[in-house]
Amino acid sequence: MRQNNRKQNKTLVIIITAVAATGGLLFGFDTGVISGAKPFFRDFWSLTDKQIEWITTAGLFGAIFGAAFSGRITDILGRKIVIIASAVIFAIGALWTGWAGSPSSLFVGRLFIGIAIGISSYSVPMYIAEIAPTKQRGALVSAFQLLITIGIFVSYLSDLAFAEESNLESWRPMFLIGVVPAMILLIGMFFLPETPRFLIGKGNEAKGRKILERLEDPDLVEESINKMKEEIALASQSAHSWREILQPWLRTALFIGVGIMFIQQFIGINTVIYYCPEIFENAGFESKVAQIAASVSVGVVNVLFTVISMMIIDKIGRRKLYFLGVTGNVIALIALAISFAFRDSLGSSMKWVTVSLVLLYIVFFAISLGPLGWLIISEIYPLKVRGVGMSIGALSNWGFNAVVTFTFLTFLRILSPTGAFLVYAGVGVLGLIWGYYFIPETKGHTLEHIEEHWRQGKKPKEL
Contact residues: ligand BGC, CB under 6 A = 145, 148-149, 152, 264, 269-270, 273, 302, 370, 373-374, 397, 401
Shortest distance (Å) from residue 274 CB to ligand BGC: 8
Q: Is the dihedral of CA 149, 151, 153, 156 positive or negative?
A: negative
Shortest distance (Å) from residue 402 CB to ligand BGC: 11
Whole-number Å distance between alpha carbons of 278 and 298? 13
Q: Which is nearer to ligand BGC, 28 or 133 (CB)?
A: 28
Q: Which is nearer to ligand BGC, 74 or 396 (CB)?
A: 396
Q: Which is nearer to ligand BGC, 241 or 401 (CB)?
A: 401
Contacts of residue 84, defined as CB under 8 A and 6 or more positions apart, other chains included, come to 186, 189, 190
Whole-number Å distance between alpha carbons of 61 and 148? 19
Q: Which is nearer to ligand BGC, 138 or 208 (CB)?
A: 138
The residue type found at 204 is N
Whole-number Å distance between alpha carbons of 193 and 235? 23
Cβ count within 10 A of residue 442: 24
Give yes or no for a contact between 295 and 276, defined as CB atoms under 8 angstroms apart. yes
Shortest distance (Å) from residue 270 CB to ligand BGC: 5
CA distances (Å), origin 125, targets 121, 169, 366 = 7, 35, 17
The residue type found at 450 is I
Q: Which is nearer to ligand BGC, 250 or 258 (CB)?
A: 258
Shortest distance (Å) from residue 27 CB to ligand BGC: 8
Q: Which is nearer to ligand BGC, 354 or 397 (CB)?
A: 397
Q: Which is nearer to ligand BGC, 144 or 454 (CB)?
A: 144
Give yes or no for a contact between 393 and 261, defined as CB atoms under 8 angstroms apart. yes
Q: Which is nearer to ligand BGC, 275 or 340 (CB)?
A: 275
Shortest distance (Å) from residue 373 CB to ligand BGC: 5
Q: Which is nearer to ligand BGC, 57 or 264 (CB)?
A: 264
Shortest distance (Å) from residue 413 CB to ligand BGC: 23
Contacts of residue 81, defined as CB under 8 A and 6 or more positions apart, other chains included, come to none
Shortest distance (Å) from residue 269 CB to ligand BGC: 5
DSSP alpha helices (H): ranges in 132-178? 137-162, 171-176
Shortest distance (Å) from residue 395 CB to ligand BGC: 12
Query: Which residue's CB comes closest to ligand BGC?
Result: 370
Give, as one character, the DSSP assignment of residue 183.
Answer: H
Candidates 375, 373, 379, 384; CA nearest to 446 is 379
Q: Is the dihedral of CA 328, 333, 334, 336 positive or negative?
A: positive
Whole-number Å distance between alpha carbons of 158 and 168? 16
Give yes or no for a contact between 77 and 426, defined as CB atoms under 8 angstroms apart. no
Q: Which is nearer to ligand BGC, 44 or 323 (CB)?
A: 323
DSSP alpha helices (H): ranges in 342-382? 343-346, 350-367, 369-379
Shortest distance (Å) from residue 63 CB to ligand BGC: 10
Shortest distance (Å) from residue 218 CB to ligand BGC: 34
Burial of 379 (C-beta count, 10 Å sphere; 0-12/13-18/19+): buried
Candidates 231, 194, 233; CA nearest to 210 is 194
